[in-house]
Amino acid sequence: MADTRNAGRPLSPHLQVYKKSLTMTLSIVHRITGVALAAGLLLLVWWLSAAAVSDQSFAMVQAVFGSLVGKLVLFGFTWALIHHTLGGIRHLVWDVGHGFDLKDVEMGAKLSLAGSIILTVIVWAIALGVS
């Protein structure tokens, strides 16, 4: 027979139960960046294929990537790569049993977000300075 003591209540917690937090947001963003990185690999394949096909194909891809829109996409891909990597490092630290204190979790989220932004800007400053 069905248990009617909890009638009308959800059987498991859902998003309406939880208060939005930085760690929740970064968890969702981590999943989104994983998908974006998989899609971004198509850009790498396109670039490598063009380089293997001909000089004209490579020049066309370089022109696309060198445009404002292309640079914005590559900037976003760079941020996604760095952010996803730092999020993975956070999870690795948790996997070895450290950083479960609520203050540590919150600090790790803030450091991951700030680090991804700062490192992305540094990578692009170096890349634009070299070219």
Confidence of residue 15 (pLDDT cuts 50, 70, 90): low
Q: Are 60 and 6 in contact (CB under 8 A)?
A: no
Is 59 a member of any domain? yes
In which residue are the tokens 């394949």 written?
45
Q: What is the pLDDT of residue 4?
A: 60
Specify burial of residue 83 (Cβ count, 10 A radius: 0-12, 13-18, 19+): buried
Task: Tell me the percentage of the chain whose pLDDT exceeds 90.
Answer: 79
Global pTM value = 0.82
In the numeric block, which tokens belong to residue 105?
């979790």
Pairwise CA distance, residues 95 & 110, whole Å: 19
Segment among 4-8, 13-17, 92-96, 106-110 with least mean pLDDT: 4-8
Q: Are 79 and 116 in contact (CB under 8 A)?
A: yes
Pairwise CA distance, residues 38 & 1, whole Å: 47
Pairwise CA distance, residues 46 & 43, whole Å: 5
Residue 73: alpha-carbon gap to chain centroid: 13
Is 117 a member of any domain? yes
CATH at 99: 1.20.1300.10
Residue 65 structural domain: 22-130
Confidence of residue 76 (pLDDT cuts 50, 70, 90): very high
Residue 95 has pLDDT above 80, yes or no: yes
Please count the structural domains in the chain. Answer: 1
Taking only the tens place, the pLDDT of each residue in 16-70 is 777 888 999 999 999 999 999 999 999 999 999 999 999 999 999 999 999 999 9
